[in-house]
Structure 1
Amino acid sequence: MKTSNASSRYDPGLLSDEELAERAHNELFHVTRAYEELMRRYQRTLFNVCTRYLGNERDADDVCQEIMLKVLYGLKNFEGKSKFKTWLYSITYNECTTQYRKERRKRRLLDALDLEPQEEASEEISPKIEEKGGLDRWLAHVNPIDREILVLRFVAELEFQEIADIMHMGLSATKMRFKRALDRLREKFAEEAET
């Protein structure tokens, strides 16, 4: 009795992500301390990744809530074959991709119904990108796959192998897409600077 009581007392802030994931795997749903610490560690970065990928904070917030629920229920199945961070960003990538596709389908429907989707899109997405400048301004000029690679590299600070695993791509293909996207952006903004 004494050992189980002592083992249930721990400081989640002192444990690694993998140790917390293992504790959460064993403790959920009765004890949520390990899960809460994991979400606290990644909450801000998750939101930033989702915002940059989706282009607006409203959708990003919704997707973050979905991700947190998927992690909560998915930790029971997390086997630790990859780092927790890689697993988390894999879920994030999948959820952002799903949301992006939903928005694209909605815009196509509005186009078909001729409900002036450009007006809605320009109010919601374009001004925010222009106001923020920096990385958001650059990301507006790349396709969704390249944008996700750049976001995972610069915002989530993942290694190329982790990005390749998340996106189900080869390592060399991931590096090549990353380099080409950066080259395209450099050319684009060099031209812009000259004008």
Structure 2
Amino acid sequence: MTSHSVPRTRYTPADLSDEELATRAAGELFHTTVAYEELMRRYQRTLFNVCARYLGNERDADDVCQEVMLKVLHGLKQFEGKAKFKTWLYSITYNECITQYRKEKRKKRLFDALSLESQEEAQEPEEPLTSRGGLDRWLVHVNPVDREILVLRFVAELEFQEIADIMRMGLSATKMRYKRALEKLRKHIDAPL
């Protein structure tokens, strides 16, 4: 019996912890997706919010969320439970957001270099995320790494150690960047309009 083998008994997915569901999903996939679907249901909204705040638009966030869900689906058999499922999930999310951010940055540099405007941008101007509330309009004032720390802390509600693990930074460096990012945000918030 492998570590991912689970008894074929009936269970109520909502009653299981994330880690129990991850173990179940790894043993069930691809015959059934009940445990996997429950995991994704639990995190879908927060996952989308993390991506949207990090990337700055909902279209890219939706694409990244789909990619994350596929990576989780195919990666569950390798999930060993050394970290919490939530930490593993946000680590994948963080890496996918970084990849998407870099793609968009390269695309923007290309358009700038060619003095062209993206057709998408010309047809559909990006709406600021201020409509979703407080944090969004201030996140533009911090660099991408600090933005991700703030998003993981406030939106995903992760502990500093989990954030440090996801971002592959030391705990003290993570706390220091968090503190500096908050100070920078306070200056922008307190600045007269």
TM-score over 0.5 for the alignment?
yes
Work out the CA distance in 1 between the residues paired with 2:132 and 2:8. 47
C-alpha distance in structure 2 between counterparts of 1:66 and 1:80, whole Å:
21
The aligned counterpart of 1:123 is 125
Alpha-carbon deviation of 1:131? 3.8
Name the residue aligned to 1:85.
Answer: 86
Q: 1:162 to 1:189 in 2, by over 3 A?
A: same
- Structure 2 equivalent of residue 45 of structure 1: 46
CA-to-partner distance for each residue in 1:64-119, whole Å, 9 max, x for gaps? 000000000000100000000000000000000000000000000000110146x9
Q: Does 1:109 align with 2:110?
A: yes
Shift of 1:31: 1.4
The one-letter amino acid paired with 2:91 is S
Please report the RMSD computed on the Cα atoms of aligned residues, expressed in angstroms: 1.7
Quickly say closer, same or farther: Cα 1:21–1:132, change in 2 above 3 A. closer
The 3-state SS of whatever aligns with 2:89 is helix
Determine what percentage of the aligned residue pairs are the same residue.
Answer: 77
Q: Is the 8 A contact 1:21 1:75 kept in 2?
A: yes
Cα separation, partners in 2 of 1:162 and 1:132, compared to 1, 3 Å: same
Q: Is the 8 A contact 1:49 1:156 kept in 2?
A: yes
Unaligned runs of 5+ in 2: 1-6
Q: Specify which structure has the higher proportion of helix.
A: 1
Q: Secondary structure at the match of 1:76?
A: helix
CA distance in 2, matches of 1:156, 1:91: 13
* Equivalent residue letter for 1:24: A
Unaligned runs of 5+ in 1: 1-5
